[in-house]
Amino acid sequence: MLDHIRFVLCNTTHPGNIGAAARAMKTMAVSRLTLVSPRHFPDAEATARASGADDLLQNATVTDDLEAAVADCHLVLGSSARLRKVALAQYNAREAAEVSVARAAAGQQVAVLFGTERSGLSNDEINRCHALVHIPSNPDYSSLNLGSAVQVLAYEFQMAMLNQAGLEPNRMPDHVPATQNQFQGLMGHFEQAMTVLKILNPKQSATLMARIQRLMSRAEPSDVEINILRGLLSAAEKAAQKSTQKSDTTPAGEVVGPDR
């Protein structure tokens, strides 16, 4: 089950933390490690800190961007040292592990993102998440070292897996959400259709698109639902293009019909 769960370290600065994360994961049998654009990797410091968990480092997937790291994922969770004011569900570590393990048991791919040491996950990275995860901690000193945060979460995943047999069946989602790849296809289509429909104001477009992305993320559409939405968007685009062509070809002064 833990095969379906990957820990994704985003833009890690210190290679020692990558090694510490690998060791923390291996002790809890979480073995899929993805590194998004690490500053130094492979690196002797990472191997030294992994201390026997260097097989995780050797098997780690390294990507240039987050998109590639989570393209096939059905659920993406972002771990954060701070509670953030975003319209996303926020789980504690235990709840996140229970949800993830239930999803993994249903055959879905799950990613947990960890931010860069200095500043945590960026807004763009958070926009990719379905929900946030916080390890309850001292509100005045809540930021764990990256390796420690990985350890606590990996432990909760191990415990959730051991407890999985006790989960009530109604906690399982009744549909399979689309992968991130399909989801990003929908987002791209929204942006394109809204441009054709001239309802994207370039000044506000990033905020508007982020809001739509969060709304859609909360809904976790399936691939069939995504196709329905994309069909609607295509129809809207066609209708808009037709009406522009019509008005372009209407000679000045011509009497227009009641449908215009």
The total number of residues shown for the chain amounts to 260
For the chain, list the strands marked E by DSSP.
5-10, 32-36, 61-63, 75-79, 89-92, 110-114, 131-134
Closer Cβ to ligand SAH, 144 or 187, answer by number = 144
Smaller CB separation from ligand SAH, 139 or 166: 139
**Closest CB 8 distance from ligand SAH, rounded Å:** 10
Question: Nearer to ligand SAH by C-beta: 63 or 143?
Answer: 143
Count other Cβ atoms within 10 Å, centred on residue 130: 23
CB of 201 to ligand SAH, least distance (A): 31
State yes or no: cis peptide before 42, omega within 30 of 0: yes
Residue 229: CB partners within 8 Å, gap ≥ 6? 186, 189, 221
* Residue among 26 and 94 whose Cβ is closer to ligand SAH: 94
Tell me the closest approach of the beta carbon of residue 40 to ligand SAH, in angstroms: 17
Alpha-carbon span 184 to 178, nearest angstrom: 10
* Identity of the residue numbered 33: L
Closest distance to ligand SAH from the beta carbon of 221 (Å): 26
Least distance in Å: CB of 119 to ligand SAH? 6
Shortest reach from residue 103's CB to ligand SAH, in Å: 19
Give the footprint of ligand SAH on this chain (CB under 6 A): 79-82, 114-115, 117-121, 133-135, 137, 142-144, 146, 149
Q: Cβ(199)–Cβ(221) under 8 Å?
A: no
Cβ-based nearer residue to ligand SAH, 114 or 157: 114
Closer residue to ligand SAH (CB): 31 or 79: 79
